[in-house]
Structure 1
Amino acid sequence: MADRLGRSSDQTRPASIGRNPRGALAVLLLALAPQIVQLLSALAGVILSLPNGNPAQIALDDGAALVSAPAALLLLANGPATADPLASQVVLALIYTYPLVVLALLTLFVRPRGPQDYYGGIVLVAIAGLALWASSDLAGMRGFSFGPGTVPRMFAILLMGLGAAIAATGLLRDGERLTGFAWRGPLFVSLSILSFAVTVRPLGLVISAFTSFMIAALGTPDTRWKETTVVGIGLTACCSLLFPYALGLPLPLLPRFLLQ
């Protein structure tokens, strides 16, 4: 994986000017990850008949936001203080997408000396950008009083600075090569969470919880399916009692077509 992201076999070779297309592509995909996830969610909604939005309209809106973001920022900077706030997708493009696109262009033309630090720092910058975007509509400081968005933005800025420093260290100083990534566990756990999110309303809590648990169990090759099935049934029973009755959450237990 390290070689695919542009790491040379010589650990002590200084950072050099050279093409690193696979590393740049990885950073570019990270830059477009929120838009891709939103589009995939809309496509899943079409398949499952959920009101997640029109995929074509979402793609057009995201594209328009990416194109119009620089002009909107200039208008906001040069306009009156009462100018309308920027749309959420435009803010996402300015705070998250465009900075990572710049890092992707940098990655295309350099080979970092410490790839693990370099790409890890970029991931921290991405997380901080998402945090800044998520807290962008919260009120900030009012005089000496903290607003609800003050602390999230403060920590996000600190994390972004830390990530940039780590990435710069990986670019300029010798460091560890990228190690192998255990993809199976994170993949199936993420799929189980996504499965629960998109199936709990149409299929009910019983089926969605049990299915999500079994998908998560695929994350390890050492799963014992008999024991896993028993535990899954027990956890599903607990969830069926906990969420609708103990916590009072309006979650259906059975599929929608059975309740109609």
Structure 2
Amino acid sequence: MRIKSQKDFFSGLMFMAMGIAFAWGATTYTIGEGARMGPGYFPLMLGILLTALGGFIVFESLVVETEDGEPVGAWAWKPLGFIIGANLLFGILLGGLPSIGVPAMGLIIAIYGLTFVAALAGDEFNWKEVVILATVLAIGSYLAFIVLLKLQFQVWPTFITG
């Protein structure tokens, strides 16, 4: 059988690999059952669903004819680097790096840092739009995680809150 869409084929394989990894990782927790779900139930179901979705996408890439075979292009190194860097920066700003003396900056600063660095991954950068997006994300995250879910983690840098 011939691959008729390379993009779909490889994205389906990626979904299947991630789904299997999630399902396998979930087996280290108590699974439970539908009525009494354990901590591993949701990741297991998510992994199974993701694997099934990937299998469908792979099947479709082998059956559905495309115009040019949709070849996989070159790696987009700039966006890849900025997105990975943005996530690393978020983690460092949120929790700090005590081993080298970097203090935790809290949720709000971490979200602004994440948004600005991730926005650099695109073709065009409009700082006004990024400020608006970061503000909306910061307010939404504060409301969701601190107010509604009542999670206990640092919101502002220590030098502000004391």
TM-score bracket, shorter-length normalisation: 0.5 to 0.7
Query: What is the aligned-residue identity percentage?
Result: 19
**In structure 2, which of residues 3, 7, 18 is the aligned counterpart of residue 127 of structure 1?**
18
RMSD: 4.4
- Counterpart CA distance in 1 for 2:35 and 2:46 is 17
Runs of 4+ residues over 6 Å off in structure 1: none
Asked if residue 177 in structure 1 is aligned to residue 70 in structure 2, the reply is yes
Asked if residue 250 in structure 1 is aligned to residue 153 in structure 2, the reply is yes
- Counterpart CA distance in 1 for 2:42 and 2:138 is 39
**In structure 1, which of residues 136, 142, 159 is the aligned counterpart of residue 27 of structure 2?**
136
Code of the residue aligned with 1:167 in structure 2: it is V
Give structure 1 stretches of 5+ with no counterpart.
Answer: 1-13, 16-111
- Counterpart CA distance in 2 for 1:209 and 1:234 is 9
Asked if residue 220 in structure 1 is aligned to residue 125 in structure 2, the reply is no
Q: What is the SS of the residue equivalent to 1:119? A: helix
Q: Is the 8 A contact 1:196 1:209 kept in 2?
A: yes
- 5 Å matches for 1:34-113? 112-113=3-4
**In structure 1, which of residues 107, 112, 115 is the aligned counterpart of residue 6 of structure 2?**
115
- Counterpart CA distance in 1 for 2:104 and 2:32 is 44
* CA deviation after TM superposition for structure 1 residue 134, in Å: 3.1
Provide TM-score, normalisation by structure 1: 0.41
| Number of equivalent positions | 148
Q: Which has the larger radius of gyration?
A: 1
Code of the residue aligned with 1:135 in structure 2: it is A
Q: Is the 8 A contact 1:120 1:163 kept in 2?
A: yes
252 and 146 in structure 1: CA distance in 2 versus 1, 3 angstrom threshold: closer
Code of the residue aligned with 2:126 in structure 1: it is R
* CA deviation after TM superposition for structure 1 residue 223, in Å: 2.0
- Counterpart CA distance in 2 for 1:159 and 1:239 is 27
**In structure 1, which of residues 213, 217, 231 is the aligned counterpart of residue 132 of structure 2?**
231
Residue 153 (structure 1) aligns with:
44
Residue 211 (structure 1) aligns with:
113
Q: Is the 8 A contact 1:214 1:228 kept in 2?
A: no
Provide TM-score, normalisation by structure 2: 0.58
* CA deviation after TM superposition for structure 1 residue 174, in Å: 5.1
* CA deviation after TM superposition for structure 1 residue 219, in Å: 2.6
Residue 99 (structure 1) aligns with:
none
Give structure 2 stretches of 5+ with no counterpart.
Answer: 96-102
Q: Is the 8 A contact 1:115 1:171 kept in 2?
A: no
- Counterpart CA distance in 2 for 1:245 and 1:156 is 28
- Counterpart CA distance in 1 for 2:151 and 2:35 is 36
Code of the residue aligned with 1:178 in structure 2: it is P
Code of the residue aligned with 2:71 in structure 1: it is L
Asked if residue 197 in structure 1 is aligned to residue 91 in structure 2, the reply is yes
* CA deviation after TM superposition for structure 1 residue 119, in Å: 1.1
259 and 129 in structure 1: CA distance in 2 versus 1, 3 angstrom threshold: same
Q: What is the SS of the residue equivalent to 1:178? A: coil
* CA deviation after TM superposition for structure 1 residue 113, in Å: 4.5
* CA deviation after TM superposition for structure 1 residue 154, in Å: 4.6
Code of the residue aligned with 2:29 in structure 1: it is L
248 and 127 in structure 1: CA distance in 2 versus 1, 3 angstrom threshold: closer
